[in-house]
Structures are given as structure tokens and as C-alpha cells.
Structure 1
């Protein structure tokens, strides 16, 4: 039961990493009419979670295994791989800010771990801590399975969009929960797809998302930071 509760705690959407400040691209998608209704929202969430799995999800799994082996260099490589694949300023800001907040919170709650060592390394002028890598290292420190870390990451990516949707669109909580329920069913297949991938095989090709993020950067009115 303790393991289940830890997954729930650190995978919770209200865990203080600042996720509420971001829409994972939805605000710009709504502004430019790429997302208009429940059906297009479902498609958008599916796209976000697929990209999260084949990009950040791979780095999370690599970082989890590296943390289990005590390999700080490989954890650092995973952070670098995530950061370099964020093509726009807002997504880089999101992953770095949430990653640091998670590392800080974990140090306060859990205590000394490879994640706190990684944060000190970043503070010394190294590569920044990113959110998916921090989550993978934290779950390894808690002796939680990599599948649980991957599931928590995918859940968070979807919920970030859906939580923003109720503030940006004419959808209600029941609509968003139905979409979340359907998207969650795809997570096991996504895990199997990327479980054996290495950092060189990370795929983040989502040109429409990058265009929308670039447009959002210069928007005059916005509720979210990306």
C-alpha cells in the first residue's frame, strides 16, 4: 500500500511543481482553432501523450535504470537529451522549472538521493535538471517500478492539458475525465513501444505543436506559461 500511495502522491496533479501554470500547448491550440470541441481535444491529448512517450518517456526510463545503477553520468545525459529536444523556449522553461521543483521537493520530503546529487551538479553550472528525468530518478530512489514512473508521467502529461481545457473551452469535468479514462488505456502499449529504446532513439517530431508554441510565446493575452 505504501508504494501505491507514493505513486499517488508524486504523480498527483497538485503536487507542488507548478504544473498548473502550463497547458502543454493547449492554450495556443484553442486560440488558433486547432482544438475546438471534445473530439479535437481528445485528438490533441492523444498527440501530446504519444509525443511524451516517445520523447520524454524514453529519457525517464533511461534515467530510472541509471539511478538504479548509481550512474550519475547517464542521468545527466538523459537530462541533456530532453533539453536539446525542446525546440521552443516555453517547453524548455516548463521542463526545467518543473524538474527543479520536483528535485527540491524530493530532497525535502525523501532526503538525500541521486536526485539531490544531480541537482547540486546542475547548480554548479552543469546541465539543468528536467522533469521526466527527475521523475524517473525519484521513483528509482523510492524503489518504485519503472512502469509506474512511466504511467505517472503519461498521466501527468494528459491531465495538464485536460485541467487547462476546463478553463479554456466549453467542456466540463465529466468530458475531460472520459477523455483521460480513454487515454490511460493506451499507456501500456506506449510503454511496450519505448521500453527498449535508448536516448538516441527519442522521437519528438510534432511540428504543429512547435508552431503553436512559437505563436504562444508572442501572444498578447494568455493564462498559461505555455
Structure 2
């Protein structure tokens, strides 16, 4: 139990070196367009992003972990393709690709086992994209963490990425950010239930506002974050 908690803390840390800090998940455009301007609208944006994650990336994580448990590693390739095909904006595809590769490289460096070396080679040879949800599921499987812990880590990562970016883009205190995070984490069980009740063929990342903001961000003249 103590070891599992330690691993959750390590790989759920917002400063994990996989490149998440360079992305904003569209919050930069949301703030510049006036859609997000205070604590309440920021919370709404975070919850929308969590809903999007629960219906897409988190579903892929569950399917990838179950494929690992069943030793059906070839299914990982189709799951990986399902994730990338549901990313509408170029930067969201770039984000999941870069973070997935960085996480796999990190995993292979810490735990030099066959699974990570195989997946990293698949990425380098362009046999797979190596999306973040699938790469994360491989690591969680190796660490023998359960599905609920994996989902909590994923949702936490989505929320903290947005809040960290917002902290540098708008007038909001650390106390406000932590209050939003506390309110958002209380909803994690609902998002997890949504994920577990979503069939693989129903996986979808469609969220009109976030997708439009991502498109606006691509052509922005001045940008602090990639997305």
C-alpha cells in the first residue's frame, strides 16, 4: 500500500518531465478570447476538459491496461490509433504524441523491461504514434496499480496542467487554484464511472468550445504555450 502511494505521487506529480508544462489545453485562447476570466469560469473550463478526458483518453487507458493484463499487446496498436484519430486539432495530436514518447522513454530508463523497450521501438519505427494514454497505461500496468488509481492520476494531470497554465495567464491566486482543484477532484468518481461505462466504440473527444479554441490558438500571433 505504501509503495503504491509512493508510485502514485511520483508519476502523478505535475512536474513529471514529460513536457506537459509546455501545453495549456486551450486555456490560453479561452482567456485571451474572454471565455475564461475568473475563478468560476476557470472551474467550468477545467470540468469541461475533464469530461472530454473521461470520454476519450481515459477510455483508451482502461482498454490498454486490460489488453496488457490479457497479454494482448497487439491490441495496443489499434487503441493507440483510436486515440490519435479522435484528436481534431494538430496541437492536441502533437501533445499526446510528445508526452507519450517522453513517458515511454522515462519508463524505459527507470524500469528497463521488455514491455517499455518494445513500445519505444514501435514508436521510433513509426509503427505506432505512442499516445500518452496508452503509454501511461503500460506504465501503470507494470507498477501493478489498479484502474481507479490510473484514472485518478490522469484526471489530476488534466486539471493541474490547465490550472498551472492559468496561474501564469490570468489574475488568480494560488488559493483559488487549489480551491478549484479540490472541487474538481471531488468529481473524479463521477468521471471515472463515466469512463468505465463508455464502450470503446463510443470513445469521443468532441467538445466544440475547446476544439474551436485550439484552432484559434494555432493561428495566434503571440503564444506562451503550445496549446
TM-score bracket for this pair, using the shorter chain length: over 0.9
Match of 1:224 in 2: 225
Comparing 189-198 and 96-105, the one that deviates more: 189-198
Task: State yes or no: 1:202 paired with 2:203.
Answer: yes
Deviations 1:15-70 (A, max 9, x none): 10011101111001111111111110010000000101111010011111111222
The number of residue pairs the alignment matches comes to: 226
1:200 Cα deviation from its structure 2 partner: 0.9
1:76 Cα deviation from its structure 2 partner: 1.3
Say if 1:113 and 1:190 are closer, same or farther in 2 by CA, change over 3 A: farther
Write the distance in 1 (CA, Å) between the matches of 2:63 and 2:167.
34
Task: State yes or no: 1:155 paired with 2:195.
Answer: no
Match of 2:78 in 1: 77
Comparing 170-179 and 196-205, the one that deviates more: 196-205
Please list, as runs of the form range in 1=range in 2, the aligned pairs for 1:1-226 lying within 5 A after superposition.
1-226=2-227
8 A Cα contact 2:54 2:195, kept in partner: yes
8 A Cα contact 1:26 1:161, kept in partner: yes
1:196 Cα deviation from its structure 2 partner: 4.0
1:113 Cα deviation from its structure 2 partner: 4.2
Write the distance in 1 (CA, Å) between the matches of 2:116 and 2:207.
29
Secondary structure of the equivalent of 2:74? helix
Q: Structure 2: 5+ residue runs without aligned partners?
A: none
Deviations 1:154-184 (A, max 9, x none): 0000000000111001001110110001100
Secondary structure of the equivalent of 1:72? coil
Deviations 1:117-155 (A, max 9, x none): 122112222121011111111101111111111110000
Write the distance in 1 (CA, Å) between the matches of 2:36 and 2:198.
31
Structure 1 runs of 4+ off > 6 angstroms? Answer: none
Comparing 199-208 and 165-174, the one that deviates more: 199-208
Q: Structure 1: 5+ residue runs without aligned partners?
A: none
Write the distance in 1 (CA, Å) between the matches of 2:136 and 2:146.
12
- The TM-score normalised by the length of structure 1 is 0.97
